[in-house]
Amino acid sequence: MNLALFDLDHTLLSGDSDYEWGQFLIDRGVLARELYEAQNARFFEQYKAGTLDIHEYLGFALGPLAAHSPQELAAWHGEFMRERILPMISPAARALVARHLGAGDLCAVVTATNSFVTAPIAREFGVPHLVATEPESVDGRFTGRVAGTPCFREGKIRRVEAWLEGRGRPLAAFADSCFYSDSHNDLPLLERVRRPVAVDPDAALAAEAARRGWPVISLR
């Protein structure tokens, strides 16, 4: 069995699910447009520039989850999937995932975006495992805080290793392991797999992939 890891935002998706979730809530009138939209855009630019303080961002991003009931959140997420996520999934992205699943590879989506937003998206792709930032929950409601290590930059390595250890098979034990990502923020994990693949990469990752001879593909 080989290992196939997939970043989500701007990799399997043609956009950013976390950013779009915020915009979706703004458009629904759940969040104040003037305040939240500016902050959402600021954090998104920091992410692209590689300067994002993940703990500051998560304090911002997870707050809306704590302010609403699980029933409200679930209803909104169904609309979010139909309106924002499904249009961002290309046939090529579905085919890539299907090829690895069909080969019997152990597949996981590995994303910095929280698991509330991303679990239904992983299920849409048919990927059975999700390694994501986990929002803290107490008595069935989100608290607005993160549980454990954020799945971001070096944190992705720690979270993937912990997941694999739970399955009794460390990363080094796989004859072949690949990670598909668009972002220079994912260089730490890209460097740890046997076969890193840059997918519609940002400028920094494109330059690094060219320097190292990594394959570059497009799912657009």
The CATH number covering residue 91 comes to 3.40.50.1000
Q: Quick check: is 202 catalytic?
A: no
Q: Quick check: is 7 catalytic?
A: yes
Q: Give the pairing of strands 195-199 and 216-217.
A: parallel
Catalytic residue among 7, 16, 18, 202: 7
- 47 vs 130, more confident: 130
Q: Does residue 49 carry a pLDDT above 90?
A: no
Overall domain count for the chain: 1
Q: What is the pLDDT of residue 41?
A: 87
Which structural domain range is residue 64 located in? 3-217
Q: What does the alpha-carbon distance between residue 153 and residue 189 come to, in Å, rounded to a whole number? A: 7
Q: Give the pairing of strands 141-147 and 129-138.
A: antiparallel
Q: What is the pLDDT of residue 58?
A: 87
Q: What is the mean pLDDT of residues 14-36?
A: 92
Please report, in angstroms and rounded to a whole number, the separation of the first and last CA atoms in the chain: 28
**Which of 25-34, 70-79, 132-141, 154-163 has the weakest average pLDDT?**
25-34
Catalytic residue among 9, 18, 105, 186: 9
pTM: 0.95
Residue 11 pLDDT class (50, 70, 90 cuts)? very high
Residue 29 pLDDT class (50, 70, 90 cuts)? very high
Q: What is the mean pLDDT of residues 6-19?
A: 97
Using DSSP's 3-state secondary structure scheme, residue 139 falls into coil
Q: What is the pLDDT of residue 50?
A: 85
Nearest C-alpha neighbor of 113 from the set 52, 171, 69: 52
